[in-house]
Protein backbone atom coordinates (compact mmCIF):
# COMPACT_ATOMS: atom_id res chain seq x y z
CA UNK A 1 0.00 0.00 0.00
CA UNK A 2 1.39 3.38 -0.98
CA UNK A 3 2.06 6.02 1.64
CA UNK A 4 1.33 9.73 1.41
CA UNK A 5 3.65 12.22 3.14
CA UNK A 6 1.80 15.22 4.55
CA UNK A 7 4.77 17.20 5.85
CA UNK A 8 3.80 20.19 3.71
CA UNK A 9 0.66 20.84 5.77
CA UNK A 10 1.30 23.26 8.62
CA UNK A 11 -2.06 23.26 10.38
CA UNK A 12 -5.26 21.36 10.86
CA UNK A 13 -8.24 23.69 10.72
CA UNK A 14 -10.93 23.43 13.39
CA UNK A 15 -14.27 25.12 12.85
CA UNK A 16 -17.93 24.85 13.65
CA UNK A 17 -19.98 22.50 11.51
CA UNK A 18 -23.75 22.37 10.96
CA UNK A 19 -26.20 22.39 13.85
CA UNK A 20 -27.09 19.26 15.75
CA UNK A 21 -30.34 17.57 14.83
CA UNK A 22 -33.32 18.56 16.97
CA UNK A 23 -32.39 16.42 19.97
CA UNK A 24 -33.60 19.13 22.34
CA UNK A 25 -35.76 22.18 21.74
CA UNK A 26 -33.65 25.22 20.95
CA UNK A 27 -33.89 27.85 23.69
CA UNK A 28 -36.03 30.82 22.74
CA UNK A 29 -36.93 33.96 24.66
CA UNK A 30 -40.10 32.20 25.80
CA UNK A 31 -38.51 28.86 26.87
CA UNK A 32 -39.74 27.66 30.24
CA UNK A 33 -40.06 24.38 32.09
CA UNK A 34 -43.48 23.94 30.53
CA UNK A 35 -42.32 24.43 26.95
CA UNK A 36 -39.04 22.49 26.83
CA UNK A 37 -38.45 18.82 26.15
CA UNK A 38 -39.12 16.44 29.03
CA UNK A 39 -35.98 14.35 29.42
CA UNK A 40 -36.82 10.70 30.02
CA UNK A 41 -40.55 11.38 29.77
CA UNK A 42 -41.03 12.13 33.48
CA UNK A 43 -43.32 15.04 34.27
CA UNK A 44 -41.19 15.92 37.31
CA UNK A 45 -37.90 15.29 35.54
CA UNK A 46 -35.42 17.74 34.07
CA UNK A 47 -36.55 19.67 31.00
CA UNK A 48 -33.94 20.92 28.61
CA UNK A 49 -33.47 23.52 25.87
CA UNK A 50 -30.28 23.92 23.86
CA UNK A 51 -28.00 26.89 23.16
CA UNK A 52 -24.68 27.40 21.40
CA UNK A 53 -21.83 28.01 23.87
CA UNK A 54 -19.78 31.18 23.58
CA UNK A 55 -16.74 29.11 24.56
CA UNK A 56 -16.19 25.35 24.62
CA UNK A 57 -12.57 24.74 25.51
CA UNK A 58 -10.89 21.35 25.41
CA UNK A 59 -7.28 20.46 26.08
CA UNK A 60 -6.36 18.45 22.98
CA UNK A 61 -3.75 15.72 23.35
CA UNK A 62 -4.26 13.73 20.17
CA UNK A 63 -6.35 13.74 17.00
CA UNK A 64 -6.31 10.95 14.45
CA UNK A 65 -8.03 8.80 11.87
CA UNK A 66 -8.67 5.06 11.73
CA UNK A 67 -9.42 2.39 9.15
CA UNK A 68 -11.73 0.63 11.65
CA UNK A 69 -13.62 1.19 14.91
CA UNK A 70 -12.25 0.32 18.35
CA UNK A 71 -12.99 -3.25 19.43
CA UNK A 72 -16.31 -3.95 21.13
CA UNK A 73 -15.95 -4.17 24.91
CA UNK A 74 -12.36 -2.94 24.92
CA UNK A 75 -10.92 -1.11 27.92
CA UNK A 76 -7.94 0.03 25.83
CA UNK A 77 -9.52 1.85 22.87
CA UNK A 78 -6.24 3.49 21.92
CA UNK A 79 -4.74 0.07 21.15
CA UNK A 80 -6.18 0.23 17.65
CA UNK A 81 -3.45 -0.50 15.12
CA UNK A 82 -5.56 0.85 12.26
CA UNK A 83 -5.31 4.40 13.64
CA UNK A 84 -2.71 7.07 13.01
CA UNK A 85 -2.36 10.36 14.88
CA UNK A 86 -2.21 13.52 12.78
CA UNK A 87 -1.80 15.75 15.84
CA UNK A 88 -0.16 15.04 19.21
CA UNK A 89 0.69 17.21 22.20
CA UNK A 90 2.33 15.83 25.33
CA UNK A 91 1.11 18.67 27.54
CA UNK A 92 -2.16 19.31 25.69
CA UNK A 93 -3.20 22.28 23.57
CA UNK A 94 -6.14 24.43 24.74
CA UNK A 95 -8.55 24.92 21.83
CA UNK A 96 -11.85 26.81 21.91
CA UNK A 97 -13.92 24.68 19.54
CA UNK A 98 -16.89 27.07 19.57
CA UNK A 99 -14.86 29.79 17.87
CA UNK A 100 -12.76 27.70 15.53
CA UNK A 101 -9.04 27.19 15.97
CA UNK A 102 -5.94 25.91 14.28
CA UNK A 103 -3.58 23.25 15.59
CA UNK A 104 -0.18 22.31 14.17
CA UNK A 105 -0.02 19.04 12.28
CA UNK A 106 2.47 16.55 13.66
CA UNK A 107 5.62 16.88 11.55
CA UNK A 108 6.28 14.40 8.76
CA UNK A 109 2.93 12.62 9.10
CA UNK A 110 2.71 9.67 6.72
CA UNK A 111 -0.65 8.08 5.92
CA UNK A 112 -1.38 4.91 4.04
CA UNK A 113 -3.57 5.46 1.03
CA UNK A 114 -7.03 4.24 1.75
CA UNK A 115 -10.48 4.96 3.15
CA UNK A 116 -10.50 6.04 6.79
CA UNK A 117 -13.88 5.27 8.34
CA UNK A 118 -13.42 6.71 11.86
CA UNK A 119 -11.94 9.75 13.53
CA UNK A 120 -10.83 10.03 17.17
CA UNK A 121 -9.79 12.63 19.68
CA UNK A 122 -8.03 12.40 23.04
CA UNK A 123 -8.85 15.37 25.28
CA UNK A 124 -8.60 16.31 28.94
CA UNK A 125 -11.56 15.56 31.20
CA UNK A 126 -11.76 19.13 32.49
CA UNK A 127 -13.23 20.86 29.45
CA UNK A 128 -14.96 24.20 30.07
CA UNK A 129 -18.23 25.77 28.93
CA UNK A 130 -19.26 29.42 28.88
CA UNK A 131 -22.87 30.05 27.85
CA UNK A 132 -25.74 32.48 28.41
CA UNK A 133 -29.27 33.11 27.20
CA UNK A 134 -31.71 36.01 27.46
CA UNK A 135 -35.36 35.19 28.21
CA UNK A 136 -38.37 37.46 27.75
CA UNK A 137 -39.38 37.30 31.43
CA UNK A 138 -37.66 36.54 34.73
CA UNK A 139 -36.27 33.03 35.33
CA UNK A 140 -34.95 31.58 38.60
CA UNK A 141 -31.83 29.52 39.25
CA UNK A 142 -31.39 26.56 41.55
CA UNK A 143 -28.58 26.20 44.07
CA UNK A 144 -28.41 22.43 43.62
CA UNK A 145 -29.88 20.08 46.22
CA UNK A 146 -29.85 20.03 50.01
CA UNK A 147 -28.91 17.02 52.16
CA UNK A 148 -32.43 15.64 51.74
CA UNK A 149 -32.18 15.72 47.95
CA UNK A 150 -34.53 18.71 47.62
CA UNK A 151 -33.92 21.52 45.14
CA UNK A 152 -32.70 24.75 46.73
CA UNK A 153 -33.55 28.13 45.23
CA UNK A 154 -30.43 30.24 44.78
CA UNK A 155 -30.30 33.35 46.94
CA UNK A 156 -26.68 34.43 46.66
CA UNK A 157 -25.99 35.70 44.08
CA UNK A 158 -29.53 36.76 43.25
CA UNK A 159 -31.53 33.92 41.71
CA UNK A 160 -33.87 35.88 39.47
CA UNK A 161 -33.46 37.70 36.17
CA UNK A 162 -34.00 37.56 32.42
CA UNK A 163 -30.37 36.66 31.61
CA UNK A 164 -29.08 33.27 32.77
CA UNK A 165 -25.43 32.26 32.40
CA UNK A 166 -22.68 29.96 33.65
CA UNK A 167 -20.89 31.39 36.67
CA UNK A 168 -17.75 29.26 36.90
CA UNK A 169 -18.99 26.62 39.37
CA UNK A 170 -18.61 22.95 38.37
CA UNK A 171 -21.22 21.32 36.14
CA UNK A 172 -23.25 18.29 37.20
CA UNK A 173 -22.66 18.61 40.94
CA UNK A 174 -25.76 18.50 43.17
CA UNK A 175 -24.49 21.11 45.63
CA UNK A 176 -23.21 23.50 42.96
CA UNK A 177 -24.98 26.58 41.63
CA UNK A 178 -23.69 26.44 38.04
CA UNK A 179 -26.17 29.01 36.69
CA UNK A 180 -26.81 32.59 37.78
CA UNK A 181 -29.79 34.61 36.55
CA UNK A 182 -29.85 38.40 36.71
CA UNK A 183 -30.92 41.59 35.00
CA UNK A 184 -27.80 41.56 32.83
CA UNK A 185 -25.13 39.12 31.74
CA UNK A 186 -22.96 39.50 34.81
CA UNK A 187 -19.80 37.68 35.85
CA UNK A 188 -20.06 34.98 33.18
CA UNK A 189 -17.35 32.36 33.64
CA UNK A 190 -16.39 28.95 32.28
CA UNK A 191 -17.85 26.04 34.24
CA UNK A 192 -15.94 22.74 34.05
CA UNK A 193 -17.10 19.17 33.54
CA UNK A 194 -16.61 16.41 36.05
CA UNK A 195 -14.73 13.19 35.29
CA UNK A 196 -17.82 10.97 35.18
CA UNK A 197 -19.77 9.81 32.14
CA UNK A 198 -22.17 6.97 31.47
CA UNK A 199 -23.60 4.61 34.06
CA UNK A 200 -22.59 2.96 37.33
CA UNK A 201 -22.22 -0.47 35.70
CA UNK A 202 -19.62 0.97 33.31
CA UNK A 203 -17.68 2.55 36.22
CA UNK A 204 -18.86 5.97 35.02
CA UNK A 205 -16.11 5.75 32.42
CA UNK A 206 -17.82 4.66 29.18
CA UNK A 207 -20.82 5.70 27.13
CA UNK A 208 -22.14 5.48 23.59
CA UNK A 209 -24.36 8.26 22.27
CA UNK A 210 -25.92 8.90 18.83
CA UNK A 211 -25.08 12.26 17.25
CA UNK A 212 -26.44 13.76 14.05
CA UNK A 213 -26.12 16.93 12.04
CA UNK A 214 -29.35 18.44 10.80
CA UNK A 215 -30.72 16.36 7.94
CA UNK A 216 -28.11 13.65 8.44
CA UNK A 217 -28.09 10.19 9.93
CA UNK A 218 -27.15 9.45 13.53
CA UNK A 219 -23.61 8.27 14.12
CA UNK A 220 -22.74 6.38 17.26
CA UNK A 221 -20.01 8.17 19.20
CA UNK A 222 -18.23 6.06 21.82
CA UNK A 223 -16.46 7.81 24.69
CA UNK A 224 -14.18 6.46 27.43
CA UNK A 225 -12.66 8.08 30.51
CA UNK A 226 -9.04 6.91 30.63
CA UNK A 227 -6.51 6.87 33.44
CA UNK A 228 -2.91 8.03 33.11
CA UNK A 229 -2.00 4.66 31.54
CA UNK A 230 -4.65 5.37 28.89
CA UNK A 231 -6.77 2.45 30.05
CA UNK A 232 -10.49 2.76 30.89
CA UNK A 233 -10.83 4.09 34.44
CA UNK A 234 -11.80 1.31 36.89
CA UNK A 235 -14.22 1.49 39.83
CA UNK A 236 -12.29 4.17 41.69
CA UNK A 237 -15.30 5.53 43.55
CA UNK A 238 -17.59 4.68 46.43
CA UNK A 239 -21.19 3.80 45.62
CA UNK A 240 -24.29 5.00 47.45
CA UNK A 241 -26.27 2.84 49.85
CA UNK A 242 -28.23 1.29 47.00
CA UNK A 243 -24.94 0.44 45.24
CA UNK A 244 -26.26 1.87 41.97
CA UNK A 245 -24.98 5.43 41.91
CA UNK A 246 -21.92 7.56 42.60
CA UNK A 247 -21.15 8.68 46.16
CA UNK A 248 -17.52 9.86 46.35
CA UNK A 249 -14.07 9.35 44.85
CA UNK A 250 -11.52 6.95 46.33
CA UNK A 251 -8.19 8.72 46.73
CA UNK A 252 -9.42 11.82 44.93
CA UNK A 253 -8.31 15.41 45.35
CA UNK A 254 -10.29 17.86 47.45
CA UNK A 255 -13.57 17.30 49.23
CA UNK A 256 -17.26 17.85 48.70
CA UNK A 257 -18.90 18.69 45.39
CA UNK A 258 -15.72 20.00 43.74
CA UNK A 259 -13.60 16.91 44.49
CA UNK A 260 -11.88 15.31 41.50
CA UNK A 261 -10.79 11.76 40.81
CA UNK A 262 -7.23 10.69 41.55
CA UNK A 263 -6.48 9.35 38.07
CA UNK A 264 -8.96 10.27 35.31
CA UNK A 265 -7.10 12.73 33.08
CA UNK A 266 -8.42 11.81 29.61
CA UNK A 267 -11.54 11.40 27.49
CA UNK A 268 -11.12 9.32 24.32
CA UNK A 269 -13.87 9.55 21.68
CA UNK A 270 -14.15 7.65 18.39
CA UNK A 271 -16.82 8.34 15.80
CA UNK A 272 -17.69 7.08 12.31
CA UNK A 273 -16.90 9.57 9.57
CA UNK A 274 -19.68 10.40 7.14
CA UNK A 275 -18.50 10.57 4.47
CA UNK A 276 -15.35 8.57 5.09
CA UNK A 277 -11.96 10.26 4.61
CA UNK A 278 -10.18 9.12 1.45
CA UNK A 279 -6.40 9.55 1.33
CA UNK A 280 -4.87 9.42 -2.15
CA UNK A 281 -1.50 10.34 -3.68
CA UNK A 282 -2.88 13.82 -4.39
CA UNK A 283 -4.06 14.52 -0.81
CA UNK A 284 -2.53 17.78 0.41
CA UNK A 285 -4.88 19.02 3.12
CA UNK A 286 -6.84 17.56 6.03
CA UNK A 287 -9.54 19.65 7.70
CA UNK A 288 -11.53 18.85 10.83
CA UNK A 289 -14.91 20.39 11.62
CA UNK A 290 -16.39 20.13 15.10
CA UNK A 291 -20.13 20.59 15.38
CA UNK A 292 -20.94 22.42 18.62
CA UNK A 293 -23.92 24.52 17.50
CA UNK A 294 -26.73 24.03 20.05
CA UNK A 295 -24.50 21.46 21.76
CA UNK A 296 -25.02 22.84 25.27
CA UNK A 297 -28.26 23.17 27.20
CA UNK A 298 -30.06 24.59 30.21
CA UNK A 299 -31.83 22.02 32.42
CA UNK A 300 -35.05 23.11 34.17
CA UNK A 301 -36.67 21.55 37.21
CA UNK A 302 -40.20 20.38 36.43
CA UNK A 303 -43.05 22.87 36.93
CA UNK A 304 -45.12 20.60 39.18
CA UNK A 305 -44.61 17.94 41.83
CA UNK A 306 -45.59 14.55 40.45
CA UNK A 307 -45.92 11.26 42.31
CA UNK A 308 -43.60 10.45 45.19
CA UNK A 309 -40.67 12.43 43.83
CA UNK A 310 -40.92 15.93 45.28
CA UNK A 311 -37.26 16.87 44.82
CA UNK A 312 -38.24 19.99 42.88
CA UNK A 313 -40.88 21.22 45.34
CA UNK A 314 -38.85 24.20 46.64
CA UNK A 315 -37.76 25.45 43.22
CA UNK A 316 -40.45 24.69 40.65
CA UNK A 317 -39.36 25.51 37.08
CA UNK A 318 -35.93 26.73 38.24
CA UNK A 319 -32.92 26.31 35.97
CA UNK A 320 -30.99 23.62 37.79
CA UNK A 321 -27.85 23.03 35.70
CA UNK A 322 -26.27 23.15 32.27
CA UNK A 323 -25.29 20.21 30.11
CA UNK A 324 -22.95 19.37 27.25
CA UNK A 325 -24.75 17.15 24.75
CA UNK A 326 -21.77 16.11 22.67
CA UNK A 327 -20.40 17.07 19.28
CA UNK A 328 -20.02 15.61 15.84
CA UNK A 329 -16.72 15.94 14.03
CA UNK A 330 -15.93 15.51 10.35
CA UNK A 331 -12.55 14.96 8.69
CA UNK A 332 -12.18 15.95 5.03
CA UNK A 333 -9.26 15.79 2.65
CA UNK A 334 -8.26 17.76 -0.43
Burial of 73 (0-12, 13-18, 19+ CB in 10 A): exposed
Residue 115 confidence (pLDDT):
92
Instruction: Calculate mean pLDDT across residues 236-245.
Output: 84
Q: Cα dist. 296→23, 75, 165, 275 in Å?
A: 11, 28, 12, 25
Question: How much is the mean pLDDT over the chain?
Answer: 77
pTM equals 0.79
Instruction: Please check whether residue 257 is in contact with residue 170, taking contact to mean a CB–CB distance below 8 angstroms.
Output: yes
Residue 224 confidence (pLDDT):
92
Residue 10 confidence (pLDDT):
39
Residue 122 confidence (pLDDT):
93
| CA distance linking residue 53 with residue 2, whole number of Å | 42
Residue 29 confidence (pLDDT):
87
Which has the closest alpha carbon to 65: 28, 117, 30? 117
| CA distance linking residue 23 with residue 25, whole number of Å | 7
H/E element, 90: strand 83-96
Domain with 288 in it: 3-333
Q: Cα dist. 82→96, 120, 135 in Å?
A: 28, 12, 48
Residue 6 confidence (pLDDT):
52
pLDDT surpassing 70 at residue 261:
yes
Angle CA 35–22–47, to nearest 5: 35
- Backbone φ and ψ for 20, nearest 5 degrees, come out as -65, 155
pLDDT surpassing 50 at residue 172:
yes
* Tally of domains in the chain: 1
pLDDT surpassing 90 at residue 240:
no
- Which of these ranges, 15-24, 188-197, 233-242, has the smallest mean pLDDT? 15-24
- Which of these ranges, 81-85, 161-165, 192-196, has the smallest mean pLDDT? 192-196
Which has the closest alpha carbon to 42: 299, 248, 331, 275? 299
Amino acid sequence: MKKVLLSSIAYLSLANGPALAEIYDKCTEASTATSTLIVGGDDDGARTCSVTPSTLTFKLFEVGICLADAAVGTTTPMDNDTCIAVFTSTNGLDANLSKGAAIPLSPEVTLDEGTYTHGYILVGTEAKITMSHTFSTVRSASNGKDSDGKAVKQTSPSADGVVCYTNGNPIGVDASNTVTCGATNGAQAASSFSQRIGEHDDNFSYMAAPMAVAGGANVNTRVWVLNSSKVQAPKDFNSNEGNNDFDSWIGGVGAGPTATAADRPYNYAIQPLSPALVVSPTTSLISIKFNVTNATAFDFWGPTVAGDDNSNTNCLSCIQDVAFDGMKFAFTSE
